[in-house]
A and B are shown apart, each in its own frame.
Chain A
Amino acid sequence: MTRGHRAGPSPALPAAALPDAYRDPGLVAALAARVRETAAALAAPVKLMHICGTHEHALGRYALRELLPPDLELLAGPGCPVCVCDSALIDAAIRLASTPGITLASFGDMLAVPGSLPLRGEARGDVRMSLLDARARGGDVRTVYSVFDAARLAAAAPARQVVFFSVGFETTVVATAALLRRDPPPNLTILEANYYTPPATALLPTLPGFDVQGLLLPGHATAVTGTGVYRELPRAGVACAVTGFEPADMLAGVLALLRQLHKGRLRVENVYGRVVADAGNERALADLDAVFQPVSRRWRGIADIPGSGFELRSAHRWRSARERFPDAFVESGERASEHAAGCRCADVTLGLTRPDACPLFAARCTPDSPYGPCMVSHEGTCRAWHQYGMARGPIAVRTSSTEVGRGPL
């Protein structure tokens, strides 16, 4: 939103911010042709994976899987921070929101995600409470677009306690870190629920049955961390390409992986150099390191992964909601399993199951009546598949005009 820097007749953004060049149909068609040629040269089926909800959205939004050869499978891996958020943290957020005097500030994505507390009086079966349910029962839950909005809420209501539900990957935790270094109002605390993806990514090749040959690494997250955090993956037999989010970026990432596999020389390749520096964002990393330290974190329904989360360092620990409101973090014994009965979110998140292989998908589990977080969050794989109809595979059409002369409609 730059004022006085206009390129067209009336754009709110400068034209350079519009990524038309990376959506150019000619460029995309040329890249898709190279992908098909290179895949054919490999002479064996290829399985690739991305680990970013925004990549899955690009695949759906532009129906890019239709452009890939049939023996190239591109799976969705763990790329949804909302989906892997520990249900115990959601339960804590619900207890905080339900406590008089506390305002819980959350991203909109998180509001409908069920935790593990049962929703009493619900006829649909195994349904769990979400922050929306807490709000309907009188809890003070506010939607914010960033931690800075939460700080404004705290400044506007000094007599209340404002807890920011800090959900997200390394891309969003740096905003929280930057804010805390600027001394926000003392009535603002942080519910630490940020996840750090490289340790989880490193675990993928060790999973039994994991046969993915190449990973599209998340462009935004790598812009923060730099490419070095992934250097062990090629040694574990996985080709790597740091990839952006436009159609040409995605196909360029796929092409880079196929070429590495073709040559038999695996490495971490940066095909998103216009955004990602190999060293990462040093200023953001300095903020992050000054405020947070690594901690083991539970990935919902998957595992406790050492070093995959962030907790406040001792100098900032007084800002931790866990420190200030310990009662909200005490589990009351009524906690059920992490996911509702029959929900296969954990397997979908790991790329072990396609969304449409889950018996609940599009039947009992839909965006307006979701059972699991993968169908709630816009970053969730099930939500993207439902939204763009990806379970249909390539969609063939028949127009009436092709029927002319071949009989009545």
Chain B
Amino acid sequence: MARYETIRLAHGSGGRLTADLIRDVFAATFDSEPLAALTDAAVLANPGGRLAVTTDAHSVTPWRFPGGDIGRLAVAGTVNDLAVMGAAPRYLSAAFVLEEGFRLDDLAEVARSMKATADEAVITIVAGDTKVVERGKGDGIYIATAGVGFVPEGRDIGPHRLEPGGLLLVNGTLGDHGIAVMAARDGLDPSGDLRSDVAPLASLVDALLAAAPGVHFLRDLTRGGLAAVANEMVTGRPLGLRVFEEAVPLDPSVAALSEMLGIDPLLAANEGKLLAVAPPDQAAAALAALRAHPLGADAAVIGDLLLEPAGVALVETAYGSRRVLEMPIEEQLPRIC
């Protein structure tokens, strides 16, 4: 692997450099039997239950950001998509699109980060692929993943079970990832306090569902943040949603920077936060379970589902007045004045 310091087009050609890369970087780091076999497809054990399958493409600038990197993001994002469906994440594949000139030691760092995150989430990386694009035709590194998990019999999580009266919980401060990455991109955090929240939430979901089996809806709050998920939950359904603004946990640095930039943290991305809906009689148990987990220390009940107005997500202010929480429309940009 020490033969070159940077990715060359030949690393994606299927020849010797490709084989070196797979053996020395990916197979060595990921340390999984199905991958080490270097077969065309991984043949895997089926532990039973219904299959949950998800796929996701990841690009982020800069690829290394405060609190994480694209490798952790790719694994955590895939794990979380499975976990919020109530599935136990099991297998993951990853395809890398690398730009000619990307440093091999950076790639090794990304691979180690993926392995560490996969271990945290108890998911095995079982298959992979690599392509290289010419310099200038990529953004350093893109990672596309697919994930497979298994849903235990009898578990039923989804929007069809939402009904008025359900209580909304989040597992911590909102907007951390979106604001941290924007700050890193634009050099806006001289104090260095901002951190992405990127983390795999599988064990948190396990603990939550064990303590409060009545939890019947889960979503990870990625792009578009709470605003996007809140709107998707009520659009076209006979129920509304209310967020109590004062109850939403915010990191003080995130609150301050988003205020300065004129950006609403409720619309900013998270990579380690989920929204759960619990029936009122299990909300206390759900909250306690979240708070007992390291990724849920700042968990809070932030709102409820309404009968009316239907089809609308609302924010109730500290003054008791209410505004609409709009579906995010465009990339959030700082304003003129």
Q: Is the CB of A400 within 8 A of B329?
A: no
Decide if B2 is an interface residue (CB 8 Å cutoff): no
| Contact code string A31-68 (vs B, CB < 8 Å = 1, else 0) | 01000000000000000000001100000111110110
Q: Complex formed: what's the CA distance from A231 to B149 in Å?
A: 70
Contacts A10-B251, A107-B336, A389-B312 given; does A398 touch B306 at CB 8 Å: yes
Check A12–B194 contact: CB distance below 8 A: yes
Asked if B317 and A172 make an inter-chain contact with CB atoms under 8 angstroms apart, the answer reads no
Q: Is the CB of B326 within 8 A of A12?
A: no
Interface residues on A, range: 35 or more
Q: Is there an interface contact between A3 and B321, defined as CB atoms closer than 8 Å?
A: no
Set B189, B262, B318, B320: member contacting A378, Cβ < 8 A: B262
Of all chain B residues, which has the CB nearest A392?
B324
Chain A residues, CB < 8 A from B190: 1, 3, 12
Q: Does A332 contact B (CB under 8 A)?
A: no
Q: What does the 1/0 interface line of A2-18 toward B look like (CB < 8 Å)?
A: 01001011111100011
* Contact indicator A379/B337 (Cβ below 8 Å): yes
Q: With A25-B319, A247-B319, A389-B323 known to touch, is A399 a contact of B165 (CB < 8 Å)?
A: yes
B191 engages A54 (CB within 8 Å): no
Contact residues in B for A82 (Cβ distance below 8 Å): 336
Within 8 A of B (CB), among A76-90: 81-82
Given contacts A8-B252, A368-B330, whether A399 and B306 have CB atoms under 8 Å apart is yes
Task: Find residues 125-171 in chain B having any chain A CB closer than 8 Å to their own CB.
Answer: 163-165
Q: Identify the closest chain B residue to A143 (Cβ).
A: B333
Bound CA span A60–B326, Å: 12
Is residue A283 within 8 Å, beta carbon to beta carbon, of the partner chain? Answer: no
Per the bound structure, the CA–CA distance linking A107 and B337 in Å amounts to: 10
State the Cβ distance, B147 to closest chain A Cβ, in Å.
31
What's the Cα separation between A167 and B336 when bound, in Å?
A: 9
Asked if B308 is an interface residue, CB under 8 A from chain A, the answer is yes
A409 B164 Cβ-Cβ under 8 A: yes
Question: Is A398 in contact with B336, judged by CB distance below 8 angstroms?
Answer: no
Is the C-beta of B307 less than 8 angstroms from some C-beta in chain A?
A: yes
A160 to chain B, nearest CB (A): 20
Alpha-carbon distance A3/B190, docked complex (angstroms):
7
Interface size bucket, B side? 35 or more
B306 x A367 contact (CB < 8 A) = no
Asked if A13 and B330 make an inter-chain contact with CB atoms under 8 angstroms apart, the answer reads no
For B246, the closest partner residue in chain A by CB is: A25
Looking at the complex, which one of A12, A54, A108 makes contact with B334 (CB distance below 8 Å)?
A108
- Chain B residues positioned under 8 Å from A29 (CB to CB): 319
Q: Given A11-B252, A12-B256, are A399 and B322 also a contact pair (CB < 8 Å)?
A: no
User: Beta-carbon contacts of A367-409 to B below 8 Å, as 1s and 0s?
Assistant: 1100000000011000000111110101111111101000001
Q: A61 to chain B: which residues have CB within 8 Å? A: 323
Q: Are B323 and A3 in contact (CB under 8 A)?
A: no
A64 to B318, CA, bound (A): 11
A324 within 8 A of B: no
CB pair A398–B257 under 8 Å, yes or no, is: no
Say yes or no: A10 contacts B252, CB within 8 Å.
yes
- Find out whether the CB atom of B326 lies under 8 angstroms from the CB atom of A67: no
Q: Does B260 contact A (CB under 8 A)?
A: yes
Q: Is the CB of A395 within 8 A of B337?
A: no
B309 close to chain A: CB less than 8 A: yes
Q: In the complex, are the beta carbons of B165 and A397 less than 8 A apart? A: no
Name the interface residues of A266-304: CB closer than 8 Å to any CB of B.
none
Is A109 interfacial (CB 8 A cutoff)? yes
- In the bound assembly, the distance between CA atoms of A87 and B163 in angstroms comes to 49
Contact indicator B306/A54 (Cβ below 8 Å): no
Q: Is B11 an interface residue (CB 8 A)?
A: no
A220 touches B (CB below 8 Å): yes
A187 CB–B CB distance under 8 Å: no
Other-chain residue from A12, A66, A145 in contact with B321 (beta carbon distance below 8 A): A66
Q: Secondary structure at chain B's binding surface: helix, strand, loop or mixed? A: loop
| Nearest CB on B from A389, distance (A) | 3
Contact B336 A11 (CB under 8 A): no
Q: Any chain A CB within 8 A of the CB of B335?
A: yes
Q: Across the interface, do A67 and B336 meet the contact criterion of CB distance under 8 Å?
A: no
Enumerate chain B residues within 8 angstroms of A399, measured Cβ to Cβ: 164-165, 242, 304, 306-307
A178 to chain B, nearest CB (A): 15
Known: A11-B252, A13-B256, A368-B329. A169 touches B193 (CB 8 A): no
A interface footprint on B293-312 (CB within 8 Å = 1, 0 otherwise): 00000000000111111001
- Pair B306/A63 contact, Cβ less than 8 Å: no
A171 on the B face (CB < 8 A): yes
A143-B321 Cα distance, complex, nearest whole Å: 35
Q: Which residues of B contact A114 (CB under 8 A)?
A: none
A23 in the interface (beta carbon within 8 A): yes
List residues of chain B with CB within 8 A of the CB of A66. Answer: 319-322
Evaluate contact between A12 and B336: CB separation under 8 angstroms: no
How far apart sit A8 and B165, CA to CA, in the bound complex (Å)?
A: 36
CA distance A329 to B314 in the complex (A): 46
With A13-B256, A400-B164 in contact, is A388–B307 under 8 Å at CB?
no
Partner of A379, one of B163, B189, B326, B336: B336
CA distance A53 to B262 in the complex (A): 13
For residue A181, give the distance in angstroms from its CB to the closest CB of chain B.
21
Q: A63-B323, A172-B336, A379-B336 are in contact. Are A398 and B317 (CB under 8 A)?
A: no
Most buried by A among B305, B319, B320: B319
A252 within 8 A of B: no
Contact present for B322 and A378 (CB under 8 Å): no
Q: Which residues does chain B contribute within 8 Å of A3, judged by CB atoms?
A: 190-191
- The residues of A that contact B306 with a CB separation of less than 8 Å are 397-400
- Tell me whether B318 and A13 are in contact (CB under 8 A): no
| Bound Cα distance from A67 to B318, whole angstroms | 12
Closest to B307 in A: A398
Given A388-B323, A400-B164, A409-B163, A11-B334 contact (CB < 8 Å) = no
B contact residues around A247 at 8 Å (CB): 319
Q: Which residues of the partner chain B approach A81 to less than 8 Å between Cβ atoms?
A: 336-337
CA of A233 to CA of B252, assembled, Å? 42
With both beta carbons as reference points, the residue of chain A lying nearest to B322 in the complex is identified as A395
Task: Check B251–A401 contact: CB distance below 8 A.
Answer: no
Q: In the complex, what residues of A have CB within 8 A of residue B333's CB? A: 108-109, 143
**A28 located at the interface, meaning its Cβ lies under 8 Å from any Cβ of chain B in the complex:** yes
Bound state CA distance, A3 and B189, in angstroms? 10
Q: A168 touching B337 by the CB < 8 A rule?
A: yes
What are 28 residue pairs bridging A and B, where the CB atoms are less than 8 Å apart in the complex? A1-B191, A10-B191, A10-B251, A12-B191, A13-B260, A17-B256, A18-B255, A18-B259, A25-B319, A28-B319, A29-B319, A32-B319, A62-B323, A67-B319, A81-B337, A167-B336, A172-B336, A368-B329, A378-B262, A379-B335, A379-B337, A389-B326, A396-B309, A397-B322, A399-B164, A399-B306, A400-B164, A409-B307
List 8 tightest A-B contacts by C-beta distance, closest first: A389-B324, A63-B321, A400-B164, A66-B321, A400-B165, A108-B333, A13-B256, A12-B253
